[in-house]
Structure formats: C-alpha cells, structure tokens
C-alpha cells in the first residue's frame, strides 16, 4: 500500500504528528511519501497512491488558507480516493471540528472522500504559552494514540468527528482571519533586538518577508502561521495587533519538570481533561484487547 500525506505546519506541531504517522506506517511496511504543502507539488500524482492524508494546524476554526488553496489546485481524480485528515490545535473544543468542512467540500469535487479524521491537541503557538509540562503531556498522549489511529486508517475503520449545527456557516465567518492575517501581517515589525539573521525571511512559507535597504519588511501575504515570530532567536518580531498573544521559542516536549508552574491551569480545564481521558480510554481499551 502507498500513502501520500500532504501537510502544512507553521511552527512544527503538525509536522511532529506527521512524522510520528510516518514512523508508524513504516513499522507496518507501508510505503509513505510526505509532501510539504508550501513546496511545489509537480512530482506527485495522486493516482499513484492508495490513500491520501491531509494534515494542518487549525487556524480560527478553519484549515489555513495555504491548505485550502493547495487542495483547489489538485486535479479531479478518475477513481474515488480515500482521504484521512489529521489536525492539530491548541485547545480541544469540539468547535474545532468544523475546521475541515471547507476542505472536505473541495476534496469531494476532486473525487476524494473523507473516511477518517483525527484531532490532536498540541501547544498553542499564539494566544498564550502552554507550560512545557502540558506540551509533554499533549505529545505523550498523541504518541500513544497515533499507532491506534494508523491501524484504524489501514483497516478502513471509519472515524469521523461530529460537526456542530451550522458549522459551515460558523467556519465561513471565521475565515475573516484570512483577510485579517493579510492586513495584520503588514503591521509586523522588528525591533532593535533584531540581529538580521534573516531566519524569518528564509522560513516564511509565503515568501512574505524581505530585506530592503537593510530593513526587514513584511508584505501582504501573511497567513498568520507564526513561524517568523515563534522561531525568532531574539524575539524581535512584533506581530501587529496580536502582539500580546505572541508565543516565542520552541516547546520542550521531552522532559517533565516537577518544578514548573502552570500559569493557565484554569483555561478550558474541563475540555483538556475530557480530551486526555478520552485518549487514555481509547489506549487502555485497545491494550485490554
């Protein structure tokens, strides 16, 4: 069996999930190809694959615009193609489920049909910084659950997420973020801490950042993925109207730190608990069998 996963990841969370999928599929001797959506797609033909996976981070209850635009460019398939969707988001609210509705609609036009959909909670790259302990727990949970999800996909055991009433309409309203991002992106600035390393320029998935007359300038093609400000080594980028929500610097997913303080432990507490216990139950049930 051959699988193609096309993914977009602003700050690495979705990539981590996709890499884990690759590892698991390879353990099962599945031939897997990974395509980064921001790179040219010419080398692939969907017809050469038995299964098509799409992975993205949720942006304002939607798939990022770069993902939807990519899907629109896909040719219509002659034969029906099975699709699975993997998504990551900072909080586990079920409203996040609506993020795939537009993608599913576009995929249907391409003769591609969703059978499996999975949502992994990963730390926020905007709004506030989760603790590293929370990041550790999220990643640990995802790692336990992904092997089970991989088997579901391979065994054609359907898994779909429930969408709220009027989900498409709500998602459509939130797609104002696509325009908001472009408007706000123009307001990005670097401050005196900038060391002109040009990491932001080289990393930007839409080539929206340039250096002109020795100054870092931001254009109108920002998709609010946060890659530039998240990975800025001196935290020099101000992200316009959302600067108070900025998260800078990668998470440490690997160590549990007993002494670390959790500063947002009340935020969506029940929702996170529900997510973790649902995953634990799925893991335990499978292990009992």
Q: Which stretch binds ligand FMN (CB under 6 A): 68-76, 153-161, 221-229, 275-283?
A: 221-229
Q: Is 125 a binder of ligand FMN (CB under 6 A)? A: yes
Q: Is 13 a binder of ligand FMN (CB under 6 A)? A: yes
Q: In terms of C-beta density within 10 A (0-12 exposed, 13-18 middle, 19 or more buried), how is residue 45 classed?
A: exposed
Q: How many CB atoms lie within 10 A of CB 30?
A: 18
Q: Which stretch binds ligand FMN (CB under 6 A): 72-80, 85-93, 209-217, 254-262?
A: 85-93
Which one, 96 or 116, has the nearer CB to ligand FMN?
Answer: 96
Which one, 52 or 275, has the nearer CB to ligand FMN?
Answer: 275
Selection from 128, 101, 5, 105 nearest residue 55 by Cα: 5
Q: Is 206 a binder of ligand FMN (CB under 6 A)? A: no
Q: Is 131 a binder of ligand FMN (CB under 6 A)? A: no
Q: How many CB atoms lie within 10 A of CB 109?
A: 11
26 and 32 Cβ atoms separated by less than 8 Å: yes
Name the minimum Å distance from CB 245 to ligand FMN. 9
In whole angstroms, give the CA distance from residue 228 to residue 242.
14
Q: Is 70 a binder of ligand FMN (CB under 6 A)? A: no
30, 46, 49, 57: residue in contact with ligand FMN (rule CB under 6 A): 57
Q: Is 286 a binder of ligand FMN (CB under 6 A)? A: no
Q: Is 34 a binder of ligand FMN (CB under 6 A)? A: no
The contacts of residue 87 (CB under 8 Å, 6+ apart) are 14, 55, 56, 57, 58, 63, 96, 99, 100, 117, 118, 119, 120
CA distances from 83 to 73, 104, 107, 117 (A): 16, 9, 9, 9
Q: Which stretch binds ligand FMN (CB under 6 A): 5-13, 182-190, 252-260, 281-289?
A: 5-13
Which one, 45 or 265, has the nearer CB to ligand FMN?
Answer: 265
Dihedral of CA atoms 210, 8, 126, 129 in degrees, nearest 10, equals -120
> Number of C-alpha atoms within 13 angstroms, CB side, residue 174?
21
Name the minimum Å distance from CB 271 to ligand FMN. 10
Name the minimum Å distance from CB 57 to ligand FMN. 3
6, 51, 74, 226: residue in contact with ligand FMN (rule CB under 6 A): 226
Selection from 233, 237, 215 nearest residue 224 by Cα: 237
Chain positions contacting ligand FMN, by CB under 6 A: 9-14, 57-61, 88-91, 96, 122, 124-126, 224-226
């Amino acid at each position: 069996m051959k699988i193609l996963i096309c993914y977009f990841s602003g700050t690495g969370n979705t990539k981590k999930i996709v890499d884990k999928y690759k590892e698991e599929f390879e353990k099962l001797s599945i031939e897997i190809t990974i395509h980064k959506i921001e790179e040219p797609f010419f080398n692939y033909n969907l017809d050469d694959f038995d299964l098509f996976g799409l992975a993205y981070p949720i942006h304002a209850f939607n798939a990022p615009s770069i993902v939807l635009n990519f899907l629109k460019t896909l040719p219509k398939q002659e034969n029906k193609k099975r699709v699975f969707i993997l998504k990551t988001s900072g909080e586990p609210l079920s409203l996040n489920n609506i993020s795939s509705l537009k993608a599913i609609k576009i995929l249907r036009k391409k003769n591609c049909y969703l059978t499996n959909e999975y949502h992994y909670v990963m730390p926020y790259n905007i709004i506030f910084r989760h603790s590293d302990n929370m990041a550790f727990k999220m990643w640990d949970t995802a790692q336990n659950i992904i092997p089970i999800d991989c088997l579901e996909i391979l065994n054609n055991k359907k898994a779909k997420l429930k969408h709220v009433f009027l989900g498409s309409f709500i998602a459509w309203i939130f797609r104002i973020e696509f325009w908001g991002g472009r408007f706000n992106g123009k307001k990005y600035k670097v401050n005196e801490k900038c060391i002109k390393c040009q990491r932001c320029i080289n990393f930007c998935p839409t080539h929206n950042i340039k250096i002109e007359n020795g100054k870092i300038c931001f254009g109108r093609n920002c998709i609010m993925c946060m890659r530039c400000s998240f990975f800025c080594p001196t935290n020099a980028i101000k992200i316009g109207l959302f600067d108070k929500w900025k998260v800078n610097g990668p998470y440490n997913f690997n160590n549990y730190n007993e002494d670390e303080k959790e500063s947002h432990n009340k935020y969506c507490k029940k929702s996170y608990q529900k997510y973790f216990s649902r995953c634990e139950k799925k893991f335990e049930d499978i292990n009992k069998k």
